[in-house]
Structures are given as C-alpha cells and as structure tokens.
C-alpha cells in the first residue's frame, strides 16, 4: 500500500473511532416507524423497510391508512409507502439482484379486522372501501430498494403490488420461504383463511387431513414459478396444525431442513422426497404460534462450513391444549414458555444419517415464546423480544375466559422478557448464555415484534401488536416506537476501519485484499491479526420471531503485517457452493478481537436467478508476521506517539521525514472530522426541533383509530394517548399523532381502476368488483363452489392455461416473464432504466 493511501486509511480510522459513542449493552431511542413493524428487512445501506398488516394506522398514503414504511438509518425517521394488498402475516425473501419480495397475506379487511365490504363469493374479503386493501393471500409484492434521497412513492422505489398480473398459484398465509442456491425461492405451506393453528379438531365431521376442509394449504411452489402445479408435501399433512411458518434451511447438498410440530426432515424439493430425522426432544414446539427462536450458527473454516441449527424456546403445551382454527383450548397466558435449547447438525461431515441427532444445549436465562435469535458479526447470537408465558396470536375470548375478562387484552401471551441475552456458540457447555451487563428495555415486544441487524452492527428492534386493529388502550398496544440495541462490543474504545473491501463477491476464484490501518487496533500487530475475522452476515427478512434467509459466514483469510502497523488481509471468496450462502445482498464486516467494523454492502453471486458461476476455491498466500509492531488505536502507539514502528513507512533515507509530513495531515483529518460531526449534529437537532414544533401545532388524526383515546386521554401513545401501564414506559414522541403523505402518486397500473388518491372505481376498473384476480388475455375463470375456492381445486388464475412464471408485467412492462431467463432480462432492463433516471 502506498504511503499516501495509508495516510487516508489512518484518517478514516481515526475519524470513525472518534464518533463511536454508543454504550455496549444499552438501548437507545430509534424514533417512530409510523406503521407497526410486523415484518422488516434491511433493504439498502441506509434504509430499513417495514411492512404491517392492513389496519387503521394514523399514517396515511394515497387516501388510505398506510401499512408500509421506510425507516431511515441516519435520521431514525420513517416515511410512508404504498402497499395495495393485505400483507398480514406474509413471508419474505431477498432476490439475487438486491430486490426483495413478500408472499401472501390475509384477505381484504376493514375496521376491527372484519371482512372488507367487497367480498369474494365464499365470504372472504376481496377489497375494502375504507382501508382500500385487496385480498393479499396470493400476492407477490416486489420492492427495488432506493436511497434516502429518492422519492419512495415513485414507481421506481415503491412496492410493486399488482395482484391482477403477479400472483402465486395458491392462497398462502403464514407460509415459509427459503432461497435456493440459484436464487429461486421455495414457498412452503400456509393457511388459506387463517385461524389460531392450521387444523380442525380431529372429531370434527367432514374434515380431510390434507386440506382441513379447505383451510390448509399443505403444498409448495416456487418464485419464479415452475411449470408444475403446487404439490402436496406429506410432511405438512403429518404435522397438521403446528406447521405454519415452518423452519426451513437450505443445506450444502441442496436438500432443505424443515422442522414443524415435533417433526424434522431433510427434503428434496425437486423430487418432493422426504428423509425423516429425529423428532424434537421434550415435545417442545418451535414453530408458530409457539414461536421459538431458531437460527443457523456461523459457518466457519473451523467447522468446515457445516451447518448447525440452534432451536431455543417455544412451548411444550400438550397437543390437545392447542385447539384448532377457532383458538386454543386453554388460557395460554398461564402456561409457561420453554427455556430449552437444542442443536442439530442435519448433514454432518461423515454424511451418516445415523449420526444425525438433536444435542441438548444450555437453557436460556429466561423462558421465551416469540423470542428472536439474530446472528451478530462477532459470531455470537442475540436473543431479544418475547414473553415468559403463552403463545403468539390474539383472540377476543377463549373457551374459559370471555372477552371482557381477558387479563392481557387480546394477547395470548404474558410476562414480557425485557432483558436481552447473548449466546456464544464457541463457549463451553454451561456458559454459553449471558445477560451480564445488558440493560433491560422499557418496551414490551410481544406478538408481531421484529429485530434486524444494521450496517453499524447495532440492532433495530420494533413492532409489537397483539391486536386485530390499531389499539392503544390495552396493556400491549399497537407499538410504533423503535429502539436501537447496542451489543457489548460498542463499549470498545477502538473500532476497525478497513479499506478496500469489495462490493461484489463470488463462489470461488481469486482472493482479494483488505487493509486494516494501525488505528484499527491496539497492542501487538501479530496478535491483532491472529484475532481478525472477515465475515458475511445476511439479516434476512424478519417476522414472527423468524429471520427468513439469515446466514453468517466467516471467509478464509491470511495476512501480512507491515512495519507501519497496517495489516493487509488476503481474503478468499466464498466456498464454491452457493447452497452455503445463497446469492443476494449481504453485509461484509471485518472483526478484530470481537469488535466489528462498519459493514460494506456487498452482492454475493451473479445478481441473477440462475445456476451460479463457480471457480476453484481461492488460493491464499502464507501469512507474514512482524514482531515489535503495534497498533495506534486509541491515541497510543505508532501514528500518535511517533515511535520507531510508526516511522518505518518508507525506504532508507526517507523514513523520518515521511512520518513527520504525515502527522499534520492525520491531526487535521481528526479535527476536521470532529467539527463536521458537530455541525451535522447541530443541524439535525434544529431540523428535528422544528419538525416537532410543527407537529405539535396539528391535531391528532383519529379517523381510523380503533379504541384510540381522545386528546384528553392523557399522555401516552401519541395517537390519542393512554396512561403508563404497569411501570412500562409507553409514551411516544410528541409528533407521532400527525402523519402527512409525502406526495400524491400516479394512478395504479390496473387499467384505470385506481384514481390518483388510490380509491377504487368499479366503473373504470379492468375487472369486475366481484371477479377474482386474473391476467388480461388469459381467460375469465371465476370463483365457483366452496370446494373450488378452498379445496384441492382451489381457484388458480392460470387454470386452464399453460403454466407461466409469476414475474409478469412488473412496472408496466406489458409482458409475462415465463422463465428465469425472461426474469433476468427484466431485471437487467430495470437496472438500465434506473441508470437513465427511469424505473428499475
């Protein structure tokens, strides 16, 4: 590395270290999400996308309550986004090109979660004139994330949600989603019309095991679609009832680990062939609504990139207590959640099925239902959110308790667990869990909470809404407050500041170099290099205590220590097997002695849905150590003290002079950086203060609130107010009662059916208000009998026509993508249009 580049790296490192001010183990205010964060994902370096269900949020967009938003990482402010269909309890996944997609949801509803006023022939909601939400059970919604400076209601940046042209083959609510090694997404199972668990009681007459009288969708399909119809998966029939949001993880072989109810299998999705594995020990249920925390442990060179899964929490409630679609048979909030943890390695190194078995792990510090496990860049896992008792879900009554006597409002869980816990998979048995030094949150995060890793290695936590519609007057209200949790490594005085990280990675091929300046560490350089890791983390799409698509992989590397204290890391590409870390966006961190850098946003793979190109595994040079070299992080050592190690930066005759000439530049960088941060902070504070004052002068919105207190209801949740309950801080910021749409959008792409304010006009619509979603020019099949709606003959908009791909006419392209090739062509065209200022 040239002396000049090293000076730049040193400046960057000093500047980043000067602004690292958060306290490890603490919570901080994360602003407001304006819609409740039922589903969430990091879509781009500076923004998190939030998806709620259709409900009466005060935030409005295009003439109706909003149930989508984008939270800005820099400002902690959220802006509304427009979603047309009801995204309640959908699933989601990344795509190889950096887009994101959500699948399914609920039917069209209105105030209080009731059926919308325009109904399908079977009585489910097609559309509602108040909330203006369409039936979302077959929906496929695509988002191309945009930067904070762009208009997020523009066609380029907003959700593409056109059910007339983009739909799944089956209705799915609470479906699982898992990406394959080529970027295709498998969509597995789900409800058809909802309920508590996905079954009727065994003694109910005229109920078949496969469809549960038309209410269970025990099949799977793909996105982009494949020619074959959705096939029934026998495992889902076997696990009937407790099979919603099944836990799915792609294995190195290409098979998929699936866990639901007590059962576990490896599944060949290509052949729909099942390979049973041992049952979950102790009868603990981990899937919804028991909702245990589940994650894959880090894939590392030390474990030869062999996946091991961690299952923690959930419920061991007896099978009869779970009830059926109508609700549980017991008052669940009295039943303790589980603290049990189990490990499973589905494909061990010896490839012996006999070697596959669950392994007892340490119990959690607290029992949890709805807890969430997140991979942190330092190789540990964070457990947050959830309750000590009960299950996910909500109800207006149970068999034993009428509605007015429900002790926790509609919530079926109680006892919020407010203190996080951290799991260290490398620690010895008996010492893997700890909450030492971790602060407790003041906000209960119950049903419909979420959490996601941010690029600075902190964690955004938001949501909680065990209510059928917005409700601010219950113990566990609709929650709009966000928090930032800072893991313990934020207490470090020095943070790595790598230089030269790539923005694209492949599967095998030439290695790449990343440089750590001397300011990135303290102490001996050799020791720091030995304790350095380069990791990829994908946070996934988080909902219902799950992070769909979440992975953590440590890349192989060697290093060279330089005499000036800089360390060059020689880093391998990913192993040449895309099943280990599927293609798409990810965060690249450099971790020194447990302290991560800020992440670099990278794209893994080709950016296309295709068989990923691979090459031979990267060949790395041997490490080069250098004794008596130290880091200068924290203002000591070379670069700050000017010792001999720091001066050894050039050839003979020029060492000392070069060191003297660089020092003023470094000091100038540090001082300038501090001044810039101060000025920016002052400007932001002024803007926020003015915004708060402006909002305070406006009356609260109450048009769609359900159970919202009036202005005189007391200090509280900001949308009308409520008193503080049970010692938990429930007050919101003063500006939360007023939400103004950013801009009026253009008409939707539905043939004239959307006005500028997004209201439905049946006179100008391209389809009958009572007709099903259909593709123009593909026939006019309509709903028939109930068996056609819910059973094996469930309505398919493509029925009677040649199978087609899902990705049709997105952004008004006017033609259907009937193959992966066409989808890739579409994505390329969109990228080209973006570069020209158009859509992408």
Q: What is the pLDDT of residues 692-714, one digit of tens each?
A: 433 333 333 333 233 323 222 33
Of 334, 325, 474, nearest in space to 403 by CA? 474
Q: Which of 169-173, 636-640, 782-786 has the highest mean pLDDT?
A: 169-173
pLDDT for residue 22: 85
Whether the predicted pLDDT of 308 surpasses 70: yes
Is the CB of residue 440 less than 8 Å from the CB of residue 411? no
Question: Given its phi and psi angles, is residue 751 left (phi above 0), alpha (psi -120 to 50 degrees) or beta?
Answer: left
What is the torsional sign of CA 516, 522, 524, 528? negative
CB burial readout 317-338, b (16+ within 10 A) else e: beeeebbbbebbbbbbbebebb
Tokens linked to 751: 């043939």
- Give the rounded percent of residues in the chain with a pLDDT score beyond 90: 70
When mean pLDDT is compared across 11-20, 543-552, 641-650, 684-693, the lowest value belongs to 641-650
- Give the rounded percent of residues in the chain with a pLDDT score beyond 70: 73
State the Cα–Cα distance between residues 465 and 483, nearest whole angstrom.
16
What mean pLDDT is reported for the chain?
80
Q: Which residues pair with 296 in a beta bridge?
A: 309
Dump pLDDT digits (tens) for 632-656.
Answer: 997 433 332 332 223 232 333 332 3
696/309: higher pLDDT: 309
Q: Which residues pair with 44 in a beta bridge?
A: 47
Residue with structure tokens 């029925």?
799
pLDDT for residue 21: 58
State the Cα–Cα distance between residues 734 and 736, nearest whole angstrom.
6
CB burial readout 436-457, b (16+ within 10 A) else e: eebbebebbbbbbbbbbbbbbb
Residue with structure tokens 């102790």?
282
Tokens linked to 720: 């009308």
pLDDT for residue 768: 28
When mean pLDDT is compared across 594-603, 630-639, 787-796, the lowest value belongs to 787-796
- 159 SS3 class: coil
CB burial readout 551-563, b (16+ within 10 A) else e: bbbbbbbbbbbbb
Tell me the C-alpha to C-alpha distance, in Å, between residue 694 and each of 29, 58, 687, 691. 21, 17, 11, 5
Give one DSSP letter per residue of 115-156, joined into a string.
BPSEE-TTSSEEE-TTT--B--TTBEEEE----TTS-TTSTT
- pTM of this structure: 0.78
205/334: higher pLDDT: 334
pLDDT for residue 735: 27
State the Cα–Cα distance between residues 525 and 233, nearest whole angstrom.
55
Residue with structure tokens 């060279």?
560
Phi, psi at residue 619, to the nearest 5°?
A: -100, 125
CA 819 to chain centre: 27
Whether the predicted pLDDT of 795 surpasses 80: no
When mean pLDDT is compared across 413-422, 426-435, 639-648, the lowest value belongs to 639-648
pLDDT for residue 352: 72
pLDDT for residue 717: 32
pLDDT for residue 583: 98
When mean pLDDT is compared across 153-162, 406-415, 577-586, 805-814, the lowest value belongs to 805-814
When mean pLDDT is compared across 340-354, 357-371, 476-490, 524-538, the lowest value belongs to 340-354
State the Cα–Cα distance between residues 315 and 72, nearest whole angstrom.
36
Tokens linked to 367: 């029992």
End-to-end CA distance of the chain: 38
Tell me the C-alpha to C-alpha distance, in Å, between residue 716 and each of 417, 674, 728, 729. 22, 37, 11, 9
Whether the predicted pLDDT of 720 surpasses 60: no
Residue with structure tokens 């003023």?
664
Q: Which residues pair with 303 in a beta bridge?
A: none
When mean pLDDT is compared across 380-394, 450-464, 820-834, the lowest value belongs to 820-834
When mean pLDDT is compared across 82-91, 577-586, 687-696, 725-734, the lowest value belongs to 725-734
State the Cα–Cα distance between residues 679 and 681, nearest whole angstrom.
5
State the Cα–Cα distance between residues 578 and 576, nearest whole angstrom.
6
pLDDT for residue 816: 26
pLDDT-derived band at 627 (thresholds 50, 70, 90) equals very high
Whether the predicted pLDDT of 742 surpasses 70: no
Burial group, residue 816, by CB count within 10 angstroms (0-12, 13-18, 19+)? buried
pLDDT for residue 86: 98
Beta pairing class for 504-505 and 600-604:
parallel
Q: Which helix (H) or strand (E) holds 551?
A: strand 551-555
pLDDT for residue 791: 30
Whether the predicted pLDDT of 809 surpasses 70: no
Largest CA distance in the chain: 94
State the Cα–Cα distance between residues 753 and 732, nearest whole angstrom.
38
Is the CB of residue 216 less than 8 Å from the CB of residue 199? yes
Is the CB of residue 67 less than 8 Å from the CB of residue 490? no
Question: Given its phi and psi angles, is residue 314 left (phi above 0), alpha (psi -120 to 50 degrees) or beta?
Answer: left
DSSP collapsed to 3 states, 308-328:
CEEEECCECCCHHHHCECCEC
State the Cα–Cα distance between residues 8 and 10, nearest whole angstrom.
5
Q: What one-character DSSP code corresponds to residue 10?
A: H
Q: Which residue ranges form the domains of the chain, and what is each CATH number?
A: 26-491 (2.130.10.80), 504-630 (2.60.40.10)
Burial group, residue 685, by CB count within 10 angstroms (0-12, 13-18, 19+)? exposed
**HSE-up (13 A, CA, CB side) for residue 838:** 10
Of 80, 76, 105, 77, nearest in space to 90 by CA? 105
For the CA atoms of 824, 154, 135, 452, what is the dihedral angle to 10 degrees?
80
pLDDT-derived band at 741 (thresholds 50, 70, 90) equals very low
Is the CB of residue 195 less than 8 Å from the CB of residue 158? no
Dump pLDDT digits (tens) for 74-98.
Answer: 999 999 999 999 999 999 999 999 9
What is the torsional sign of CA 486, 492, 494, 496? negative
Average pLDDT for residues 782-792, to the nearest whole number? 26
Question: Around Cβ 173, how many Cβ atoms within 10 Å?
Answer: 27
């Amino acid at each position: 590395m040239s002396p000049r580049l090293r000076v730049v790296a040193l400046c960057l490192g000093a500047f980043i270290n000067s602004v690292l001010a958060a306290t490890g183990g603490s919570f901080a205010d994360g602003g407001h999400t304006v819609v409740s964060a039922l589903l969430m994902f990091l879509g781009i370096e500076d923004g998190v996308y939030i998806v709620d269900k259709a409900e009466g949020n005060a935030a409005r967009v295009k003439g109706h309550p909003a149930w989508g938003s984008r939270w800005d990482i820099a400002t902690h402010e959220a802006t509304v986004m427009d979603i047309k269909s009801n995204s309640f309890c959908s699933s989601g996944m990344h795509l190889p090109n950096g887009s994101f997609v959500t699948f399914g949801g609920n039917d069209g509803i209105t105030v209080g979660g009731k059926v919308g006023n325009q109904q399908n022939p079977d009585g489910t909601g097609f559309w509602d004139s108040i909330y203006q939400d369409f039936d979302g059970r077959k929906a496929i919604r695509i988002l191309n994330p945009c930067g904070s400076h762009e208009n997020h209601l523009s066609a380029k940046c907003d959700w593409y949600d056109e059910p007339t042209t983009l739909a799944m083959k089956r209705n799915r609510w609470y479906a699982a989603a898992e990406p394959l090694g080529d970027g295709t997404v498998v969509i597995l199972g789900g409800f058809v019309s909802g309920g508590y668990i996905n079954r009727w009681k065994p003694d109910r007459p005229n109920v078949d095991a496969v469809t549960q009288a038309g209410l269970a969708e025990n099949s799977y399909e793909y996105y982009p679609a494949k020619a074959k119809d959705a096939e029934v998966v026998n495992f889902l029939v076997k696990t009937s009832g407790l099979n919603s949001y099944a836990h799915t993880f792609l294995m190195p072989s290409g098979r998929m680990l699936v866990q639901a109810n007590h059962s576990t299998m490896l599944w060949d999705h290509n052949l729909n062939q099942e390979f049973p594995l041992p049952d979950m020990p102790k009868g603990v249920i981990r899937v919804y609504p028991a909702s245990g925390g589940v994650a894959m442990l880090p894939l590392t060179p030390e474990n030869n990139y062999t996946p091991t899964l961690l299952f923690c929490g959930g419920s061991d409630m007896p099978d009869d207590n779970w009830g059926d679609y109508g609700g549980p048979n017991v008052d669940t909030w009295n039943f303790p959640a589980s603290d049990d943890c189990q490990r499973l390695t589905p494909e061990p190194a010896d490839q012996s099925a006999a070697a596959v078995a669950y392994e007892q792990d340490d119990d959690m510090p607290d029992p949890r239902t709805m807890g969430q496990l997140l991979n942190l860049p330092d190789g540990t896992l964070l457990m947050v959110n959830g309750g000590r008792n009960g299950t996910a879900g909500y109800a207006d009554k149970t068999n034993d308790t009428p509605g007015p006597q429900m002790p926790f409002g509609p919530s079926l869980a109680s006892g919020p667990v407010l203190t996080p816990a951290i799991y260290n998979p490398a620690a010895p048995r008996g010492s893997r869990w700890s909450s030492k030094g971790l602060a407790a949150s003041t906000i209960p995060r119950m049903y419909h909470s979420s959490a996601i890793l941010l690029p600075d290695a902190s964690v955004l936590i938001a949501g909680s809404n065990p209510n059928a519609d917005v409700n601010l007057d219950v113990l566990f209200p609709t929650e709009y407050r966000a928090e930032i949790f800072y893991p313990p490594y934020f207490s470090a005085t020095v943070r790595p500041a790598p230089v030269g990280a790539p923005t694209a990675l492949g599967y095998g091929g030439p290695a790449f170099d990343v440089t750590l300046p001397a300011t990135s560490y303290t102490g001996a350089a050799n020791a720091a290099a030995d304790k350095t890791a380069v990791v990829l983390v994908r946070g996934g799409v988080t909902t219902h205590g799950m992070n769909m698509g979440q992975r953590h992989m440590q890349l192989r590397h060697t290093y060279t220590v330089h005499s000036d204290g800089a360390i060059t890391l020689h880093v391998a590409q990913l192993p040449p097997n895309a099943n280990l870390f599927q293609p798409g966006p990810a965060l690249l961190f450099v971790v020194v002695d447990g302290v991560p850098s800020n992440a670099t946003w990278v794209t893994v793979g080709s950016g296309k849905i295709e068989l990923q190109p691979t090459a031979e595994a990267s060949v790395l040079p041997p490490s080069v150590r250098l004794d008596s070299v130290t880091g200068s992080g924290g203002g000591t050592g070379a670069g700050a003290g000017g010792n001999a190690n720091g001066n050894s930066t050039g050839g003979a005759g020029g060492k000392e002079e070069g060191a003297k000439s660089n020092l003023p530049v470094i000091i100038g960088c540090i001082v300038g950086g501090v001044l810039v941060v101060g000025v920016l902070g002052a400007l932001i504070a002024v803007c926020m203060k003015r915004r708060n004052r402006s909002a305070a002068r406006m009356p609260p919105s109450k048009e769609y609130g359900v159970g919202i207190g009036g202005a005189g209801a007391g200090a509280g949740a900001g949308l009308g107010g409520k008193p503080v309950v049970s010692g938990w801080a429930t007050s919101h910021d003063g500006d939360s009662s007023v939400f103004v749409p950013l801009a009026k959008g253009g008409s939707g792409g539905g043939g004239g059916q959307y006005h500028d304010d997004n209201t439905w006009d049946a006179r100008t619509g391209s389809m009958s208000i009572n007709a099903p979603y259909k593709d123009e020019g593909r026939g006019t099949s309509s709903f028939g009998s109930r068996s056609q709606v819910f059973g094996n003959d469930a309505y398919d908009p493509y029925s009677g026509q040649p199978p087609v791909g899902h990705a049709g006419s997105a952004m008004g392209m006017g033609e259907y993508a009937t193959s992966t090739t066409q989808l890739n062509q579409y994505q390329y065209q969109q990228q080209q249009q973006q570069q020209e200022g158009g859509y992408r």
